[in-house]
Amino acid sequence: MKTKVAFSLTINLTIILMKKFIVLLSVLLIAASACAQKTFDNEFYFRFGYSNPSWKQFGFNKDDWPDAWKKKGFTGEIGTIFMLNKVINSEKMALGIDVDYLTFYWHQFSIDQSGSSVDIATLRVGSKVGPSFTFSPAKRLAFDIYVKADISWVTATAIVIDNDADDAEGYGKVFAVGFTTGFNIRYSILMLGFEISRISPKLENVDEPGEYLGNFNDSNSDRTPLPSVNFTIGLSF
C-alpha cells in the first residue's frame, strides 16, 4: 500500500540521515559543553504535546476549508539547553544553545460526510538548534526564550480518499530547513512550552518524480507551507 510504503521510507531515510549528521551534531555539543560553567546547569529535557496544524498549511486560507474539516496533531522532542555562563556574568540570566536531538510532528486533516472521506496526514522528523536566553527570578523557577533552525531530515505527506490506501498519493522530501520560536516555563523538573513552527519543504510525488504538492494559492511555487503552533509538557533535569 502506497501510504505504508511512504511512511516506511520516511523512517528508513531518517535513520540513514541521522547517522550522516551525527558527527556535525557531536561537534556542536562538545563546543557548547566546553563553554558551560556551574552558575546554570545544562538542562536535558524531553516533552510531548499537542501540535495544532495551521489552516494555512498547503497554502490554504481558513475560508478554503469547509466547516466539516477537522484537524489534529502531536509532537515530541528530546534535547538539551547548554548554558553559556561565560557570556553573561549573572546568577539570574544566561545565554545558551538549545539543541533538539530528535523532534517529530504528526498532523492530520480529515473530512467524512455524505459517505465520502479524505485524510491528509503529514509526518515530519528532524532536529532543531538555536540560541536561547534564560531568566531565573527564583531558585526553582526559570523562563527560556529561543529561536531555532528547524532541520527536517524527512517529511512525508499522504492523501487518502475513502480509506483506499492502495490508491493513496504519497509525497516526500529529504532535508528541509525552517525556523521555530518559542518560550518555556520551568519549575523544578516540570517544563511547559509554547512554540510557533514554520517550514516549507518541496514535497515530491513518490510515484511521479518532478510532480510537487506545491502551494494551493501560488501555482508558481513548488514549496508546501506546513506552519503549526505547539503546546508541550515535559521534564527537564
Q: What is the pLDDT of residue 18?
A: 52
- Name the residue ranges covered by the structural domains of the chain: 2-236
CA atoms within 13 A on the CB side of 118: 10
* pLDDT higher at 43 or 91: 43
| pLDDT at residue 9, rounded to an integer | 43
CATH classification code of 2-236? 2.40.160.20
pLDDT digits (tens, 9 = 90+) for 170-217: 999 999 999 999 999 999 999 999 999 999 999 999 999 999 999 999
pTM of the model: 0.82
Which residues face 130 on adjacent strands? 98
Reported as a single tens digit per residue, the pLDDT across 107-123 is 999 999 888 999 999 99
